[in-house]
Every structure is written in C-alpha cells, then in structure tokens.
Structure 1
Amino acid sequence: MNATLSFFFLKLQAMALLVFNQKLQALACFEQMLVQRPDNFYALASRAHVLAQLGRKAEALAAQEQLAARHADNLAAWFNLGYMLEEAGEHARAEEAFRRVIGIDPKMDRAWYGLALVLIQTRRFDEAVAALKKNTELQPMSPFGWYQLARVHVDRQEPDEAVKIIRHLKGFEPKVAAQLERETGLLASPATPTS
C-alpha cells in the first residue's frame, strides 16, 4: 500500500474508532499517522484532543505545545494551548499563548476572554478590564465577558460600574443579571428604554 493510501486508511480508521469511543485505539492510529507525517495538523491536533479526553493532561499539553510549535500561525493551536495552560495554572505561558492569538487575529473575541481570565487570576485587574472591554465590544450579546467585567469591577471596589453592567445585562440576559445580583449583593433597577 502506498504512503498516501496508508495515511488515509489510518485517518479513516481513527475516525471510525472515535465514533465507537475507542479512544486508545484511535490514539494509536494518530501516532502511526505522525510517524508517516510528523507535521500533519489533523493528526497532531487529534492526538492532543484525545489525550485530553483520556485525562492524560501532561501528555495532552505536550502534544498541544508540539502542534503550536509546528503550526505557528494557527489560531486554534495557540488558543487551545492557552486554554490548556490556563487550566494547568501556568498563567504566564497562557497569557503568552492568548496574546499570540490576538497578534494573529485581534478580532478573536474568545482569545480576549481567555486573556482576561488569566489576568484576573493574576489579579491584574486594570489589564483584565481592558481585555474584557475588547471582548464585549467584539461579542456584545455574549454574557460571559459582561459577567466577568462586573465581577472585576466588584473586586476593584467599583460597585457603580458593576451595577451599570447588571442593568445592561437585564436587557438581554436577565438570568445572568440576577445571578450577579445574588453573588454581589448589588441590585440594579431594570434598564430604561431610551426614546
């Protein structure tokens, strides 16, 4: 069997194994694919993903780092690396990965959000506010950035700013607004429509 056909067969086999939740066997297929094509994006990404699903976090992180190194301009590779590093508590490296994504595509709202989470965890609230404002500018109807922004304002002892956000959320995400009111003890009157 020629190399191209062999690679294609391994890919189909891995996909079928994943359908039937045979992750270890699929992982073996990805490893064989990487022997044939060490830089193949699909095989590298799939290996990292399956390792993470198996709970083998250190190996998954190493595999994701390898993917990002070999595909340096790929947003998904760097974003997923940032997410994994943030989850592992490696804040400085996670920040670097999210900033790499933003450098490639400044309009990737999820990267701004991920960066903000890292900045919050390192108590760099001023920078977190800037990142969250960028996230909410890019994704104004998503409650996640607004929620975190309100929480940061509370942490910065700026209850008036948090109340403004809660009021804003009442206009399109009343459940999130109510959750913030419960968590912070801040009450916001409903948003008043402008004429």
Structure 2
Amino acid sequence: MNENFEDRDEVEATVRRFEQMVALNEPVFFDLADFENIIDHYTTTTQYEKALQACEAGIAQYPFSTELLIDRSQVLAMKGEYAAASSQIEDVALLDPDNPDVAVTRGIIATQKGEFAEAIAFFHQAAERAQDRDDIFFNLGLAYQSWQKFKSAAKYYKQSLRLNPDNDVAVQELLYCLEVSERLEKNLDFFRRFTDEDPYSAVAWYNLGQAYYRAGKLDEAISAFEYAILIDGKFYEAHGFLASVYVTQERYRAAISEFELSHPEGEPSPEALCNIGECHEKLAEWDLARRFYQRAIDLDPEMDEAWFGIGIVMNVQEKYFEAIHFFRKAVSLYEESVEYWLALAAAEYQIGNIVSSIEAYEKAVEVAPDNKDAWLNWSIILYEQGNFDGAIDLMRNAVEIQPMEAELHYRLCAYLLAGGRYREAYECLENALVLDFDKHRLLFDYFPELESQKALARLIDQYRK
C-alpha cells in the first residue's frame, strides 16, 4: 500500500510540474511513461480538456508513439468527439493492426456512442489478443453497466479486480452494480476473500470496509477500516470512510477526529473541512461549524455544500438575510439541488419576500417534481394569501405527478373544503382514505376546526377498518 501512495505522490508531483510548465508557457519535456501517467491522472478525474492537452504535448515530443495516439483517440471519445476519435484510431490500426489497444479503443468509442453489443465484441477481441489485462475486463464491465446489464457488469468488474485489487474505480462500480441488482449481501464473500488471501493488504481491508458500509453493516465496516489504518497509518481514504461511518451512526466527535486524519498533515482538503463543519453543525456548535465551512470555501470557492452549510447555520440563528445570501450562492453553483431551493424558499418567506419564495418553490418542483414537501410548502403560501383556487390547482398538479402520495390528497381535500367546494372535497377525501386511512389525522392537523364537521366524520367512519 505504501508503495501505492508513493507512486501516487510521484504522479501528482509530475502533474503539478506539467501544469506549471503549461501555465508559464515553457517547453514541456517528459518521459513517455510520465506523459502516460499525466493523461491517466486526468482521465481518471474526468478532466478531459487537460488530458487532451497532455496528449498533444506528448505527441509533439514523441510523434511516432502509438500509445499516445491511442490515448488521444480515447480522450476524444470520452469528450464525445466520436468522428475525430474514430479517425485517429483507424490511423493507428493501419500502422499496428494487431495492437489490442486498437480494439480496446474501438470498444470505448462504441460504448460512448451507446453501441453496447458492438463495444463488447471489440473488448472480447482485445481480451483474446492480450491475456489477463484488468483494464479490458474493467471496460467490459463499464459497457455492460451502461447497457443496464448489472449482473454481467459485476462479473467483469470482479475479473478486473482479481487481477488488480487496487483499482478503486472498479470497486465503486462493482458495489454500485451489486446494490442496484440487490446482490450486495450475497457478494460480501468476494471482498472477504481478498483479506483472507492477504491479511496484510490495507487495500483489501479498505475495499471490504466499503462493501460492509454499503451493505449497512456498520460495525463490520468500522473494524475493516481500522485494520486498513493499522496496516497503513497514512491511508487517508480509509480515515475518510471511517469518519463517514461514524457520521451515519451520529457519532460526530469520533467522525471529526477521523476527518482530521483524512489528509496529509497541514494539507486539509476542502471536502474534509466541509465535513468537519457539518459535524459541528449537527452538534449545534454554530461558530465552529461556520469557521470550518468558511475555511472550505477559502480553499475552494466553488464548494456549494460549504456555502449551503453556512446558510443553514445562519438560518438556525434566525439571521435570515445572511442565510439568503449563502443559499443563493449555493443554488448558483448547483442548480439541481431541491434541498437548496427549499431552504432558499423558506428563508425568503421568513423575511416576507413572498414573490421570491414562490419563485424558489417553482424551481424546486422543476428540479424534483416528486418532492412532496416542495408542493406542500408552496401551496401553504398561496392558501395563506387567500388564493384558494391557486392552492387547489397546485395540489391537483402534485396529485397528478404523485397519485399514490396520500398526504397530497388530504391537503387537496382541505383546500377544497376551505374553498367551499364540498362535493369535490369528499371525492378527494375518499381517494385519500383508500390510499392511507391513518393519515386522515393530517386533515385536522392542518385545520382543527374541521373536527366538528359531522359529514366529514361520517365519511371517515365509513372507511374505518
């Protein structure tokens, strides 16, 4: 494992040197192997523009390197430039037709284009030409996964991991496929086997810990991560995962200690600082929470979670104007979060910005139409404004999108009653009672005065089991 970290540190140092030379417009000279590592680093972290830049710099220095030409083709495919990728790989095929990487690259292009059967045929062709290459099995897994064939995908990810247990991306994808196909529990033995075969492998214990964590076996996950850390004290990712398990168990103090060890000393990552901030937030230590969120933002101004975190802290302290500032920044960085829009809407409402609040609720239901709280909270504003018809129309929309959500039917019924539309209200109540009788109490929670309505009580009694 230590070797692994040394390798990684070396690669990161090379990447930093490359970026420095590019920034200063200096001529870039590296070994062929260094270029391969730089490109690999960028593709693994999905920075395709930078990967392409590294390919171009490498090819300028080594114009006859088939490896770099193949890399360039693969990066173009990942960027969605299929025609350029295909043309590049066909040029390489003319020079070196039996190179298994030609077939691999054709497979990657086909996977990206959604031509999965074709992709799989190419990868099998590559596997015949190059024995025991974990990356080929990994790509087979990826093609099957993209095709939504999770069982087959899992089979090839396993083959890939048998050859290279250090491929963390393969571990993540395998766990995902097993979860989606509800076969994680049955496959824990696969991960245990690695620790049986090599009890001193920190990676094996770390992977087992992740499997336990995803399977909800938290105590076993803790033990596995602790073993990984015992073998390799500088295994930062294991500390980070152990912290996440503690968060799940609401053991926030223990989580903070582990997050503090999840990076080299004196080099905290924005993620670690943000996570520590969140733990302090859960412990209601508002000033500390804010301080850590702010430190995360100082390191990475684009970190939406940290902006949102400060918003939450301000909100709890009823500093709504400040909260709104931070929530707005969070949604500007990540517009797809219904949680952010709901928080912004509620804070705007607190200071009487009704129009802005409604606009935020509109965005929330656009982003997540199946979030019932967004519909319910938005409708309350319309109802409180005396706009009964608006509240009714909104709830009808919500019910259409989520017909099985009893709470929406009860709320619609309440608004219909408030608007004096009794016949429609009783029809709606019947639907709600059939869906979930016990939730009829909600009706009286919304409008206590309804308890005295005899017709309503009679209707409810008819559905009492």
Alignment TM class, shorter chain as reference = 0.7 to 0.9
Q: Normalising by the residue count of structure 2, what TM-score does the alignment of the two structures yield?
A: 0.36
More deviation in 106-115 or 176-185?
176-185
Partner in structure 2 of residue 73 of structure 1: 302
Partner in structure 1 of residue 407 of structure 2: 175
Task: Determine which structure has more spread, i.e. the larger CA radius of gyration.
Answer: 2
User: Counterparts of 2:240 and 2:363 in 1: how far apart (Å)?
Assistant: 42
After TM superposition, list the pairs within 5 Å mapping 1:6-85 onto structure 2: 7-8=234-235, 12=239, 15=242, 18=246, 23-31=252-260, 36-85=265-314
Does the 8 Å CA contact 1:154/1:184 hold for their aligned counterparts?
no
Instruction: String of CA shifts for 1:51-95, please: whole Å, max 9, x gaps.
Output: 233332332232223223322102222223323322222212211
Partner in structure 1 of residue 330 of structure 2: 101
Does the 8 Å CA contact 1:82/1:98 hold for their aligned counterparts?
yes
Q: What's the secondary structure of 1:51's corresponding residue? A: helix
Offset of 1:178 from its aligned partner? 0.9
User: Counterparts of 1:178 and 1:156 in 2: how far apart (Å)?
Assistant: 20
User: Structure 1 34/89 Cα, relative in aligned 2: closer, same or farther at 3 Å?
Assistant: farther
1:166 correspondence with 2:395? yes
More deviation in 16-25 or 39-48?
16-25
User: Counterparts of 2:302 and 2:312 in 1: how far apart (Å)?
Assistant: 17
After TM superposition, list the pairs within 5 Å mapping 1:76-155 onto structure 2: 76-155=305-384
User: Counterparts of 2:365 and 2:409 in 1: how far apart (Å)?
Assistant: 15
Amino acid at match of 2:379: A
User: Counterparts of 1:10 and 1:177 in 2: how far apart (Å)?
Assistant: 46
Amino acid at match of 2:242: M
Give % identity: 16
User: Structure 1 9/141 Cα, relative in aligned 2: closer, same or farther at 3 Å?
Assistant: closer
Does the 8 Å CA contact 1:119/1:125 hold for their aligned counterparts?
yes
Structure 1 stretches lacking a partner, 5+ long: 191-195
Does the 8 Å CA contact 2:259/2:275 hold for their aligned counterparts?
yes
Amino acid at match of 2:276: R
User: Counterparts of 1:78 and 1:43 in 2: how far apart (Å)?
Assistant: 15
Instruction: String of CA shifts for 1:139-195, please: whole Å, max 9, x gaps.
Output: 1121111111101112222111011122333332331341465589636734xxxxx
User: Counterparts of 2:281 and 2:255 in 1: how far apart (Å)?
Assistant: 13
Offset of 1:131 from its aligned partner? 1.2
Does the 8 Å CA contact 1:125/1:156 hold for their aligned counterparts?
no
Amino acid at match of 1:44: L
User: Counterparts of 1:177 and 1:52 in 2: how far apart (Å)?
Assistant: 35
Partner in structure 1 of residue 229 of structure 2: none
Does the 8 Å CA contact 2:382/2:390 hold for their aligned counterparts?
yes
Q: Normalising by the residue count of structure 1, what TM-score does the alignment of the two structures yield?
A: 0.76
**C-alpha RMSD of the superposition:** 3.4
Structure 2 stretches lacking a partner, 5+ long: 10-231, 429-465
User: Structure 1 135/20 Cα, relative in aligned 2: closer, same or farther at 3 Å?
Assistant: closer
Q: What's the secondary structure of 1:36's corresponding residue? A: coil
User: Counterparts of 2:416 and 2:257 in 1: how far apart (Å)?
Assistant: 49
